[in-house]
Structure 1
Amino acid sequence: MNSRSNFSSKLGFVLAAAGSAVGLGNIWRFPYLAAKYGGGTFLLIYLILAITFGFTLMIAEIALGRKTRLSAIGAFKSLDKRFGFLGILASLVPIIIFPYYSVIGGWVIKYFAVFISGGVQASAGDTYFTDFISGSVEPIGWFFLFMAFTAVIVLCGVEKGIEKVSKIMMPILVILTIIIAVYGLTLDGAMEGLIYYIKPHMSDVSAKTILAAMGQLFYSMSLAMGIMITYGSYMKKENNLESSVRQIEIFDTGIAFLAGLMIIPAVFAFSGGDRSMLNAGPGLMFMTLPKVFASMRFGGVIGTIFFVLVFFAALTSAISLMETIVSVFMDKFGWKRRFTGIFVAVLACIMGIPSSLGFGPLSFISWMGMSVLDIMDFISNSVLMPIVAFFTCIFVGFTIKPKTISDEVKATDGTFKAEKMFNVIIKWVAPVFLVLILISSVASALGLFTI
């Protein structure tokens, strides 16, 4: 059996776990949903859910990992054999996400290369992005490059690779986000976007807004992917688990908030307040923002910094996805880290090719109007993740009991300040919300109604 690596400090654990949570979901998905679902209203609901629902699930997952010293595929089974299936389901999520996520990571490197080489005006062309992703050779080349970056870091191991990189990346990520956000707020017309983004309107509160915020929380905080269980398995007993989770939440939510702050006011400024530009989804970053940067003074510099920021965010999340998969195979088969890392990288490259070609040569493959990449995203994020989180709540709430998690949290200093809230949410509140998310996501994809 392989000896298990450990993070050298609480700071190392928090930064690595926060690096996992902060990713493309924070940079383009959070601002898009905030814009679509009422700006400040969405933001307020998200913050409330983060400190309640998100906190509860993250505590449960990290505690499960630290208690068992196993990745998701072994953690559930070690505590109750009947729930061995849950470890398999949780492990499938990153296996599905990692390849297509790396495809998008490749797009980010492509745009960074374009901006640093002075191609700002070219990237602002109406068809530039679609022409690029509809190719066959170039998108795969950038995808493989992003995969290579990720694999090298993971192959270096937990402390030498992930922890050291996260200690550098996370502070830079925060600094760059603040710089761009402050710059964006100086633009003419940006104040209208700022007011829309931070001012809640209670008339906008609806079931759809709450469900959208819940779904984003899931995606953003790396929940129900086995990632936090894996990271918890590397956490030392002397590190305070509850305060660590709070700090991870602050990092993740703070970056998401700043991402909205740098994107929404800027789009308002350059669109004359036309909110339809905010409905572009991933296109908001790859299609709209180059136009914004092309209109800015020193736009090439600002755009280059922005895509460095996005690359860091994408890479830290990709590292955690790959590390989770590597940990699963090592725990299951007893393989060495180097061999396992190479195997996972090759497997992900093969699995990611259809997603990369899905906008070009394989565009004929579609389901309900979704491309190959969209299908993979739907299966992992809208189906498997709510199912995994629901059964995790049932497992903790009614099988091993919340006390098992509470005892693990208290193992450091005997305290668990939010224990009462945790017990109520894990048993009664979270399962109901998760069922609603699953039903609404599937029904929306099938065209029964639109969220």
Structure 2
Amino acid sequence: MASSDRGQFSSRFGFIMAAAGSAVGLGNVWGFPTQTASNGGAAFLLIYLLMMALLAFPMLVAELTIGRYGQSNPIGSLRKIWTNNRLLAVLFGTTAMLTASMILSFYAILAGWLIGFGVSPIMKLIGLQSLSEWLITFGTGRNVLLTVIFMLMTVFVVRRGVADGIEKWSSRLMPVLFALFLVLIIYIFTQHGAMDGLKMYLVPNWEHVNGGLVVNAMGQAFFSLSLGVGAMMVYGSYLSKDVNIPKTAGQVAIIDTGVAFFAGLLILPAMFVAKANGVQIFSETGELISSGNLVFTVLPSLFDSMGLVGEIVGVAFFALMVIAALTSSIAMLEVPVSCLQEEMKIKREKSAIILGLVILVFSVLIAANFDTLFDWVATASTMYMQPLLGVVWAIVIGWVWSRNALLKEIQQGYPEIEKTWFWRIWPIYVKVVCPIAIIMVFAYPFL
């Protein structure tokens, strides 16, 4: 299908906001800071930055290039490159679609909780105490209702299309996210105990550096950019041919890394402010408590201890979290929607509604059988399928696609690339180093 028949980003800014929004998710805002705090502070931060440059950025360029060349969904784009074995193209493109759908099915439940924690203080302020408590109390009814609300928000954006939905809302939501970060960081820095958290974040503890830390940092960098699930491939397919892909990918990676860094500047000082206010942040063994408890127990306790100002800060914090979740969920839903729209010739609006409902049914099943299904779905999709698909994309770029055809595609937006150090290193790097590095991330927990 020609690019003129499909949606397209209307500006480079819109694409960067959408791609950064896809990358900026709950992994950045609550996963990264606690990983950093548990792994030697700045020691983890520095290795994470290194892995972002050495692994995540080259793979981001790869996914965007496959998508822009194919001008199609992951199935169509892979089929255009993998001409000798179209069955494998369909198989792996479909697997990417299913993986994105699986991630969204559990992600929507977490995002629903964030909505509940954000709305709860407002209900409390207007006198609806029992509703306020219900919104933050774990239960199947509450989980299902909030998941439905979040999925409706996601479908609302995706059904509007690329420029009028994804680009427009990403361009609105991401600046709001940056502004909320700035306001919250400034406020937290004025509180007693914040400097202890800042010290933990920015002063490296090299004793924590080991193979596990390096692999954790590598995994965090890879997953933080939404790599492996086809989201960046789809977004790349909506790029015009005159866009400089390496430069644009670099800008997306920098924004994503910046958000993760600022999340650390917010979360770690906030944890130590909570500690100064009498909230427990360390377990009995002296380790930092888990990231789930941090977001849903420690920080709400901190906000409660701060009176009315704390309620306002709490609403702003959870609004930030919901925005981060929504910009990622939009990208995840776009993967199967683009496949259904282009492979089955079903209109976008109908595709978004059908797939939103199908994924919502799975979300409700997970919510109703939370103890059995939640961890299983999360582990299968993010720890197994996502990295293995990343290896496949590296193989496609390095071993399946001819180097000349790859060069011609990138040259359309960067005519002089053949003379650069990037082109001398990147193709062989993606061909050899990236698959080995990703397999190391995948295999390390089993060693």
TM-score (norm 2): 0.90
- On the 8 A contact 1:120/1:290 being kept in 2, the answer is no
Q: Structure 2 residue aligned with 1:118, among 96, 116, 124?
A: 124
Structure 1 residue runs of 5 or longer lacking an equivalent are 366-371, 444-448
Q: Mark the CA change 1:405 to 1:281 in structure 2 (over 3 Å): closer, same or farther.
A: farther
Q: Return the alpha-carbon distance in structure 2 between the equivalents of residues 65 and 267 of structure 1.
A: 41
Q: Structure 2 residue aligned with 1:53, among 49, 55, 59?
A: 55
Q: For each residue in 1:102-146, what CA deviation from the matched residue of structure 2 results, as whole angstroms up to 9, or x when unmatched?
A: 1111111111110222369999xxxx799722x221210111011
Fraction of identical pairs, as percent: 32
* 1:431 aligned onto 2:431: no
- On the 8 A contact 1:184/1:266 being kept in 2, the answer is yes
Q: Return the alpha-carbon distance in structure 2 between the equivalents of residues 107 and 28 of structure 1.
A: 14
* 1:140 aligned onto 2:151: no
After the TM superposition, which residues 141-160 of structure 1 pair with which residues of structure 2 at under 5 Å, given as runs? 141-160=145-164
User: Which residue is equivalent to 2:381?
Assistant: 380
User: Which residue is equivalent to 2:82?
Assistant: 80
* 1:336 aligned onto 2:347: yes
Deviation at 1:185, TM superposition (A): 1.9
User: Which residue identity does 1:52 align to in structure 2?
Assistant: L
User: Which residue is equivalent to 1:446?
Assistant: none
After the TM superposition, which residues 337-356 of structure 1 pair with which residues of structure 2 at under 5 Å, given as runs? 337-356=348-367
Deviation at 1:296, TM superposition (A): 2.3
Q: State the aligned residue count.
A: 428
Structure 2 residue runs of 5 or longer lacking an equivalent are none
- On the 8 A contact 1:99/1:348 being kept in 2, the answer is yes
Q: Return the alpha-carbon distance in structure 1 between the equivalents of residues 388 and 208 of structure 2.
A: 28
User: Which residue identity does 2:98 align to in structure 1?
Assistant: L
Q: Mark the CA change 1:41 to 1:424 in structure 2 (over 3 Å): closer, same or farther.
A: farther
Q: Mark the CA change 1:405 to 1:197 in structure 2 (over 3 Å): closer, same or farther.
A: farther
* 1:282 aligned onto 2:292: yes
Task: Between 423-432 and 328-337, report the one with greater CA deviation.
Answer: 423-432
Q: Return the alpha-carbon distance in structure 2 between the equivalents of residues 265 and 120 of structure 1.
A: 30
- On the 8 A contact 1:278/1:284 being kept in 2, the answer is no
Deviation at 1:403, TM superposition (A): 4.7
Q: Return the alpha-carbon distance in structure 1 between the equivalents of residues 205 and 73 of structure 2.
A: 42
- On the 8 A contact 1:93/1:385 being kept in 2, the answer is yes
User: Which residue identity does 1:289 align to in structure 2?
Assistant: L
Q: Return the alpha-carbon distance in structure 1 between the equivalents of residues 403 and 33 of structure 2.
A: 35
Q: Mark the CA change 1:207 to 1:407 in structure 2 (over 3 Å): closer, same or farther.
A: farther
| SS in structure 2 of the partner of residue 118 of structure 1 | helix
Deviation at 1:194, TM superposition (A): 0.8
Deviation at 1:72, TM superposition (A): 1.0
Q: For each residue in 1:89-114, what CA deviation from the matched residue of structure 2 results, as whole angstroms up to 9, or x when unmatched?
A: 22221011111111111111111110
TM-score (norm 1): 0.90
User: Which residue is equivalent to 1:302?
Assistant: 313
User: Which residue identity does 1:162 align to in structure 2?
Assistant: I
Deviant stretches of 4+, over 6 Å: 119-123, 128-131
Q: Structure 1 residue aligned with 2:301, among 291, 306, 311?
A: 291
* 1:89 aligned onto 2:100: no
* 1:230 aligned onto 2:234: yes
Q: For each residue in 1:354-408, what CA deviation from the matched residue of structure 2 results, as whole angstroms up to 9, or x when unmatched?
A: 221234xxx3x3xxxxxx1111110011000111111211221122145543432
Deviation at 1:419, TM superposition (A): 2.2
- On the 8 A contact 1:65/1:72 being kept in 2, the answer is yes
Deviation at 1:437, TM superposition (A): 1.4
Deviation at 1:177, TM superposition (A): 0.7
Q: Structure 1 residue aligned with 2:166, among 162, 166, 181?
A: 162
User: Which residue identity does 2:57 align to in structure 1?
Assistant: F
After the TM superposition, which residues 170-249 of structure 1 pair with which residues of structure 2 at under 5 Å, given as runs? 170-249=174-253
Task: Between 372-381 and 178-187, report the one with greater CA deviation.
Answer: 178-187
Deviation at 1:191, TM superposition (A): 1.3
| SS in structure 2 of the partner of residue 132 of structure 1 | coil
Deviation at 1:414, TM superposition (A): 0.9
Q: Return the alpha-carbon distance in structure 2 between the equivalents of residues 72 and 278 of structure 1.
A: 40
Name the Cα RMSD after superposition: 2.2
- On the 8 A contact 2:40/2:206 being kept in 1, the answer is no
Task: Between 339-348 and 402-411, report the one with greater CA deviation.
Answer: 402-411
User: Which residue identity does 2:366 align to in structure 1?
Assistant: S
Q: For each residue in 1:60-85, what CA deviation from the matched residue of structure 2 results, as whole angstroms up to 9, or x when unmatched?
A: 00011001101112211221142312
User: Which residue is equivalent to 1:21?
Assistant: 23
Q: Return the alpha-carbon distance in structure 2 between the equivalents of residues 183 and 158 of structure 1.
A: 36
Q: Mark the CA change 1:20 to 1:120 in structure 2 (over 3 Å): closer, same or farther.
A: farther
Q: Mark the CA change 1:302 to 1:324 in structure 2 (over 3 Å): closer, same or farther.
A: same
Q: Return the alpha-carbon distance in structure 2 between the equivalents of residues 131 and 6 of structure 1.
A: 40
| SS in structure 1 of the partner of residue 124 of structure 2 | coil
- On the 8 A contact 2:117/2:136 being kept in 1, the answer is no
Q: Return the alpha-carbon distance in structure 2 between the equivalents of residues 203 and 401 of structure 1.
A: 45
User: Which residue identity does 2:210 align to in structure 1?
Assistant: S
User: Which residue is equivalent to 1:99?
Assistant: 105
Q: Return the alpha-carbon distance in structure 2 between the equivalents of residues 308 and 402 of structure 1.
A: 45
- On the 8 A contact 1:129/1:287 being kept in 2, the answer is no
Deviation at 1:423, TM superposition (A): 2.5
Q: Return the alpha-carbon distance in structure 2 between the equivalents of residues 190 and 344 of structure 1.
A: 44
User: Which residue is equivalent to 1:39?
Assistant: 41
Q: Structure 2 residue aligned with 1:254, among 254, 258, 264?
A: 258
User: Which residue identity does 1:70 align to in structure 2?
Assistant: S
- On the 8 A contact 1:53/1:425 being kept in 2, the answer is no
Q: Return the alpha-carbon distance in structure 1 between the equivalents of residues 226 and 238 of structure 2.
A: 16
User: Which residue is equivalent to 1:324?
Assistant: 335
